[in-house]
């Protein structure tokens, strides 16, 4: 992991294209903006910083920094297609060497976390630097259940948060993802989600994961699970479809991550009521049989039947069953087995069942990080199932 300061504390006389870092900041309240600028100036010599922001007041607040005007973008909770396009254009126009994109609430990042991100792309030469956040054990469960295991299994990436709200890029990485983003902006979809880890993996670029510490994650304007999960999962499923020729080839899986058992105690101290999740799953089991039977093979439906009879602390969803369920939904998304909106909606109660199981396993058997890694390992093991179904879907139909 990259931790060194990319630039010495002693300021160099002049900045050159080889030392310039363009930092594109999300729209921030004045106090937060001042805070993050101070941290950035402590990490990188000010003459090597190019701050891109739509806030013109920064020029008077920090006259020692080089400020470039960025277009005002619609406030969102993650990096969008428009952000990638804007970042590359500004970096190119200002002869930057690398790019750092920081999302909303980025002032909550520590100076050390910012330094690690900058160092990975400026000193260590990584094409893509992704942060490893220190989050509470039950935060980011859509990531833990779907995004991380899919990214790890299909793109052989160890990055724990493939949809991070901050990241660093070399210029060639910025150019590549900007080209991918341009397709969405040309279709008037500026807020579309992109998957930089998948893009870097497909290009054969180097990826670093760096310690970023604690961070406050921005929330979507509509934080309801019924909106967020279909949006994020649908975007990832579409990217998987577009890169099928890449991920179907065999690749060496990354080593198992180091676990953080201290998180298990924190989870046990704050029990979560899983009864509403189980109730939602059981209602869906009764009402969604017709849809699920179009997506899932008989063995998976039998597994769900067994789950519907479990209750309370005994509720456990086998990791292999969850992996196959997600893979079958990816396949159904590609084949348009049913309306994609209905398909992704039908995944939600199954996800809630996974969350209930995850909470039970984490509280009584192992820590949450151990279980998340076991789930990711199951996705990697079951990858041949997806490859086979992708190539010969009719062979698996009942």
- How confident is the model at residue 199, as a pLDDT? 97
Determine phi and psi for 102, rounding to 5 degrees.
-120, 125
- How confident is the model at residue 395, as a pLDDT? 58
- In this structure, what DSSP letter does residue 188 have? T
- How confident is the model at residue 364, as a pLDDT? 79
- How confident is the model at residue 16, as a pLDDT? 57
pTM (2 decimals)?
0.90
The single residue listed with the structure tokens 């948060």 is: 161
Domains of the chain by start residue, with CATH: 21-247 (3.90.550.10), 263-396 (no CATH)
pLDDT tens digit sequence for 239-262: 999 999 999 998 887 766 664 533
> What is the Cα–Cα distance from 67 to 311, expressed in whole angstroms?
58
- How confident is the model at residue 205, as a pLDDT? 97
- Sheet with 166-170, strands from edge to edge, namely 66-69, 49-53, 21-25, 98-102, 166-170, 128-133, 207-213
- How confident is the model at residue 3, as a pLDDT? 37
In the predicted model, residues of the chain with pLDDT beneath 70 are 1-18, 73-75, 255-271, 365, 394-398
Q: Give, to the nearest 10 degrees, the angle between helix 298-308 and helix 319-335.
A: 130
């Amino acid at each position: 992991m990259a931790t060194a300061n990319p630039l010495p504390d002693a300021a160099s006389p002049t900045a050159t294209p080889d030392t310039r870092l363009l930092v594109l900041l999300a729209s921030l309240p004045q106090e937060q903006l001042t805070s993050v600028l101070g941290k950035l100036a402590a990490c990188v010599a000010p003459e090597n910083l190019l701050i891109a922001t739509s806030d013109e007041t920064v020029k008077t607040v920090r006259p020692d920094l080089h400020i470039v005007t960025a277009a005002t973008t619609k406030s969102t909770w993650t990096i969008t297609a428009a952000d990638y396009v804007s970042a590359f254009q500004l970096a190119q126009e200002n002869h930057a060497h690398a790019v750092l994109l920081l999302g909303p609430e980025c002032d909550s990042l520590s100076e050390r976390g910012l330094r690690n991100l900058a160092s990975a792309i400026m000193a260590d030469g990584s094409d893509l630097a992704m942060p490893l956040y220190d989050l509470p054990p039950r935060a980011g469960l859509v990531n833990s259940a779907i995004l991380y295991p899919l990214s790890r299994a299909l793109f052989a990436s160890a990055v724990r948060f493939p949809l991070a709200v901050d990241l660093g890029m070399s210029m060639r990485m910025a150019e590549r993802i900007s080209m991918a983003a341009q397709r969405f902006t040309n279709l008037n979809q500026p807020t579309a989600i992109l998957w930089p880890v998948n893009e870097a993996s497909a290009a054969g670029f180097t990826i670093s994961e760096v310690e970023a510490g604690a961070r406050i994650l921005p929330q979507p304007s509509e934080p309801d699970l019924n909106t967020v999960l279909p949006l994020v999962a649908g975007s990832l499923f579409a990217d998987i479809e577009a890169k099928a020729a890449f991920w179907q080839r065999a690749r060496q899986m990354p080593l198992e991550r180091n676990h953080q058992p201290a998180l298990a105690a924190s989870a046990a101290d704050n029990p979560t009521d899983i009864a509403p999740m189980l109730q939602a799953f059981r209602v869906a089991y009764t009402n969604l049989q017709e849809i699920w039977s179009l997506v899932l093979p008989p063995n998976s439906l039998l597994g769900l039947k067994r789950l519907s009879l479990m209750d309370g602390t005994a509720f456990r969803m086998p990791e292999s069953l969850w992996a196959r369920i997600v893979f079958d939904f990816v396949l159904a998304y590609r084949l348009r087995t049913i309306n994609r909106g209905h398909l992704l909606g039908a995944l939600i109660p199954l996800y809630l069942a996974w969350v209930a199981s995850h909470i039970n396993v984490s509280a009584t058997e192992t820590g949450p990080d151990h279980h998340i890694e076991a789930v990711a390992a199951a996705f990697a093991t079951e990858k041949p199932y997806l490859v086979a179904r992708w190539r010969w879907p009719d062979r698996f139909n009942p």
